[in-house]
Copies of this chain bind each other. A is one copy, B any other.
Amino acid sequence: MPSITRRRTANVGRPTSAEAEILAATQRLLINGANFTELGVQQISTEAGVARSTFYSHFRDKIDLLMRLATELMTSSFDVTSAWDPSDGVERLADAFLQVVKVYRKHAAVRRALAEVATYDATVRDFLSAELNQFTDWTIAVLRAEQDAGRTRADLDPVSATRMIVMGGERALVDHVTAGDPGSDAAFARELALTWWYGVYRRPADYSK
């Protein structure tokens, strides 16, 4: 339940010092390898050099904090990807993915926290699905269009293929920026693009056994 007692009326200009401190402290803790679930409000407050009660005058709860963190990285990866069109070819797709990898890597800690909390919290789950659904819908549409144009096999199942592509791709991405070497970003983006391209968009016409 949100506290209504302390209303912040006029802080129009800058975010409160304590609030920014808390956001930063949380990121620091996450980057240091802490996992969000077992991160206590007391810990965060201490790290931020702020009283625990102050935390609650800025955030309803930990989820609220996480969502605040999340909106800060809403540099939509969707835009960069959906700008791509099959007629651009594989290499351009790899370029687009490389950009996405960079974005993910920059916000890896918060990404990880989001994926973590999404498994048991509806709010965060909905936030993430909304983000992924953009990709899903777009991908299905593109695949259907390619099928209609006869450039993608007609017997391909757009829904299953998209599930593999979007869900699987996102997971591989998170795994890559979590465990993979930054030096291999380009190689990874390229593999991702090639797998999509030849596995889905331009799967060969003859299934010779």
Interface residues of A (CB under 8 A from B): 35-38, 89-91, 115-117, 119-120, 156-157, 159-161, 163-165, 167-172, 175-176, 180, 184, 187-188, 190-192, 194-200, 203-204, 207, 209
Contact = CB atoms under 8 A, between A and B. Distances in A.
Copies of this subunit:
2
A91 B91 CA distance: 29
A139 to B, nearest CB: 13
Most B CB within 10 A of own CB, among A90, A160, A169, A190:
A160
Tell me the interface secondary structure of chain A in the complex.
Answer: helix
A163 B187 contact: no
A101 to B, nearest CB: 11
19 contacts: A90-B207, A91-B209, A115-B119, A157-B187, A157-B190, A157-B191, A159-B184, A160-B184, A160-B188, A164-B169, A164-B172, A164-B192, A164-B195, A167-B168, A167-B172, A168-B168, A168-B171, A198-B199, A199-B199
